[in-house]
A and B are shown apart, each in its own frame.
Chain A
Amino acid sequence: MKVTFLDFEQQVSELENKIEQLRYVQDDSALDISDEIGRLQKKSQSLTKDIYAKLTPWQISQVSRHPQRPYTLDYIQHLFTDFEELHGDRAYADDPAIVGGLARFNGQSVMVIGHQKGRDTKERQYRNFGMPRPEGYRKAMRLMRLAEKFGIPIMTFIDTPGAYPGVGAEERGQSEAIGKNLYVMAELRTPIICTIIGEGGSGGALAIAVGDAMLMLQYATYSVISPEGCASILWKSADKASEAAETLGITATRLKTLGLVDKIISEPLGGAHRDYAAMMQTLKKSLQDTLNQVQSQAPGEMLQARFNRLMSYGKFKEIELN
């Protein structure tokens, strides 16, 4: 697969094109130019390293939405075996913007739930760009209750621009569906491990992101509103998205400082999409470590810790009242 480069990666893109051309020449020429190719590859790597060492929050936001970034089904394929997808909310429909089902993680039964975006135009439409409707959240809740019943841990993967803002979604209770999930996940008697793999878009992301541990990929984002949305409301211009991204504090490092994320999962050089295998390996290890940690707690202890953590969210000051 040919890598798609983002705006700020243009220099890398040019270098990679050049390497490609040289390789092509190499094939039907007697001259050995592999040294030259090697030199350029090194240059491309160090350039990528330089660029990624100082990504702005807005650039990270672009990486988190990269069209080649691994999606939930990619992680399911690489991290789990025996995936049995389960469908539908038993009330209205099956929402393809959220996928879920039983699977095996290093041999252990787990319930996997995640947002799913599409790769091509047709699939994007089918998946509604990863924007769930109420039935998606209700399916997720049904699967979580199922997992609880059989004492199966839950792993969720978060990657959505947000819950779908549509007439039908409102008519069928988008708000209630999200709110109910927040409530259920707070008291669910089984471990829940959440990983932000791409775009953590507001309430639509949070609705499957309450649990015992929050992991976040290095170039993922998580925000109360998209930088564009924030800019168009507060600056009255979507062009200020970059400033908004800066001030909203949407990156993994910033959120870890605020205590909202437990662990940042490093991505391969140039982002997860540059090396699926490496990304999967790193995440798999972290997920197993986290699962062990959560499972080592007694159930009551685990629930109390989850509750205490939820109650600790927020920054404020307290004054003495007379």
Chain B
Amino acid sequence: MSWFQKLLPPKIKRRGEADAKKSVPDGLWHKCPSCQAVLYHADLEKNFSVCPKCSHHHRISARTRLDWLLDSEGRFEIGSEVLSVDTLKFKDQKKYSDRLIEAKKKTDEDDALIVLQGSIHALPVVVAAFEFDFMGGSMGSVVGERFVRGVQVALEQQCPFVCYSASGGARMQEGLLSLMQMAKTSAALTQLSEARLPFISVLTDPTMGGVSASFAFLGDVVIAEPGALIGFAGARVIQQTVRETLPDGFQRAEFLLEHGAIDMIVDRREMRDQLATLITLLTKQDAVAKLEAA
């Protein structure tokens, strides 16, 4: 089990694992970890993996997310030519190179960030999404480079850049190189600003550490999914440091909204439409319906 999964309450563990533990035919039924309702998997999926009973937002893969968000035509992947190397020959109880192989097997992705060029309601965009199941969505050199290449394409195409975060933070196995990705990704955004192109940051469960403390809060608009865990330091570290009980709902999206840290919370089922509206408003275009009618 990765260190990051260990940090999480068992009930938020990913769907695949939960299914494996129950001796139910693969993915046919699913128990909502929030309200315990037993859901038919196909129904859940039709509902964007949001529980129809309690609106709990289940974690989803980066591909699924991008697939639901983007128009089906005209998608191009950016940065898939960039792959990890184990520069430090990092080894704890396991080698970093072995961890990479495992993560690839588990997710069928070759790193924790996937970037696509495409469109939302025919509005051109570049969208990046973190794959949390790939080493806790940790940000190393590849994630940083793909992010930057995504920004570059947005600049070339003069279109907005959207990023869905889901990450435990920097990838320890790349040492200081991973810390520097915080500076690299944040610096890339200065170019988008200069070109007056919107950057919309969507924080999903969980967005922590080095990802949270770099580009994630630099959005022109910062959105969170309901109930997402978002913060700099993990709850366990804070508890060990301050030795006080944490307030209710601490570091959840609703808590952040209340404290003025984010602009809005958007239900996943509304996300595509909301993003399109925001983009048209920021870029002074007509409403989506009018654009589509034209």
Using a CB–CB cutoff of 8 Å, the interface residues on chain A facing chain B are 163-167, 169-176, 178-180, 182-183, 185-187, 202-203, 206-207, 210, 222-225, 230, 233-235, 240, 243-244, 247-250, 255, 258, 260, 307, 310-311, 313-321
Q: Is B119 an interface residue (CB 8 A)?
A: no
Contacting pair A175 B216 (CB below 8 A)? yes
Contacts A248-B172, A316-B84; A167 near B141 (Cβ below 8 A): no
For the complex of A and B, the 9 pairs showing the least CB-CB separation, nearest first, are A165-B233, A314-B141, A186-B187, A234-B92, A182-B186, A313-B180, A176-B217, A178-B213, A175-B212
What are 12 A-B interface contacts by the 8 Å CB criterion? A174-B213, A178-B214, A179-B214, A224-B179, A244-B92, A247-B92, A248-B172, A249-B88, A250-B176, A314-B144, A316-B141, A319-B83
Interface size class of B (residues with CB under 8 A): 35 or more
CB distance from A205 to the nearest CB of B (A): 8
Q: Is B15 an interface residue (CB 8 A)?
A: no
Complex contacts, B49 vs chain A, CB 8 Å: none
Contacting pair A223 B175 (CB below 8 A)? yes
Contacting pair B183 A222 (CB below 8 A)? no
Give the docked Cα–Cα distance between A169 and B244 (Å).
14
Give the docked Cα–Cα distance between A176 and B259 (Å).
12
Q: Is B23 an interface residue (CB 8 A)?
A: no
Complex contacts, B180 vs chain A, CB 8 Å: 206, 260, 310, 313-314
Complex contacts, B172 vs chain A, CB 8 Å: 224-225, 230, 233-234, 248
Given A174-B231, A250-B175, A314-B144; 13 other pairs, CB 8 A cutoff: A166-B242, A178-B213, A179-B215, A186-B186, A222-B176, A224-B174, A224-B210, A247-B89, A258-B87, A260-B176, A313-B141, A315-B87, A317-B84
Contacting pair B241 A166 (CB below 8 A)? yes
Contacting pair A224 B175 (CB below 8 A)? yes
Q: Is B33 an interface residue (CB 8 A)?
A: no
Contacting pair A203 B246 (CB below 8 A)? no
Contacting pair A179 B218 (CB below 8 A)? yes
List B residues 228-278 near A (Cβ within 8 Å).
230-234, 237-238, 241-242, 244, 246-247, 250-251, 259-261
- Among B145, B148, B244, which residue has its beta carbon within 8 angstroms of that of A167? B244
